[in-house]
Amino acid sequence: MRIVCVGTSGAQRYLAEALAESNHSVVQFNHFDDAAYLASAEHVDAIIVLTSGGASDAARAFAVRPAHTVLVVIDRQGQKDARVAALEAGADICLDHPYEYAELHARLQALCRQRDHAALAAARPLTPSAAFTRPLLSPATRSLVGRDGDQLLLRKREYLLMDRLLRVPGEAVARDELVDYIFGEADADTTSLHLLVSRLRARLSQTNLPITLMTVPKLGYRAVVNAD
């Protein structure tokens, strides 16, 4: 997932590091405006705001956002009434501090998974057989898993590449977006992306997984799931 963390505390930096370790693409901002702009310009799965007594203000700041973007507010000084107000103002999840990272991560994944499934069904409905044969991207093992049990363990950047391309199989994703999603603030460009795709293509060719990485001229790449 592409996740934006907003805040200025050490807790925000710790959370960002934990999310990155959980195989997510993470961007950190200090200010609401920067995060809101990124969410309007690029695909962002979730915005997580860490605040101290400003839960409802944070929720209102991101009330207008893409439908697929989940908003999480974590309030260090939050009380029950403040959490309720934040939810009513547009937050999808509102927690006080301290919180359990495992619970936050599980709830976030569940919400994003529901929205991804709805978006995929709307974009190109799958028949039951097609849905069953589609390879799964496993965050627990950081791998691609086929119906027959064939498994390909992925390096972190390979996982992020497939995470974005398999969001909607067959849909083209621009090179610049993939570079940002995969490499973040690291010094990388489209050449780095091309090398990553080439290596993963070679690894996929040695498996029975029905996935082909296609180049889209003058745009980027797409992942095609081949029918059995």
- Domains in the chain, CATH or no CATH each: 2-121 (3.40.50.2300), 136-225 (1.10.10.10)
User: What is the DSSP secondary structure assignment for residue 98, as one 8-state letter?
Assistant: S
Cα dihedral 74→77→82→88 (10° resolution): -10
Report how far residue 47's alpha carbon sits from residue 90's, in angstroms, rounded to the nearest whole number.
12
pLDDT of residue 134: 57
Note whether 165 and 221 are within 8 A (CB): yes
CA quadruple 212, 215, 154, 180: dihedral sign: negative
pTM of the model: 0.79
Burial class (CB in 10 A: 0-12, 13-18, 19+), 48: buried
Note whether 115 and 65 are within 8 A (CB): no
Report, as an integer, the average pLDDT of 83-91.
Answer: 90
Position 105 confidence tier, pLDDT thresholds 50, 70, 90: very high
- Residues 116-171 pLDDT 10s: 666 556 555 544 444 445 567 888 788 998 877 788 999 999 999 999 999 888 99
Report how far residue 193's alpha carbon sits from residue 103's, in angstroms, rounded to the nearest whole number.
33
Report how far residue 139's alpha carbon sits from residue 159's, in angstroms, rounded to the nearest whole number.
8
Q: Which of 96, 40, 95 has the alpha carbon at shortest distance from 68?
A: 40
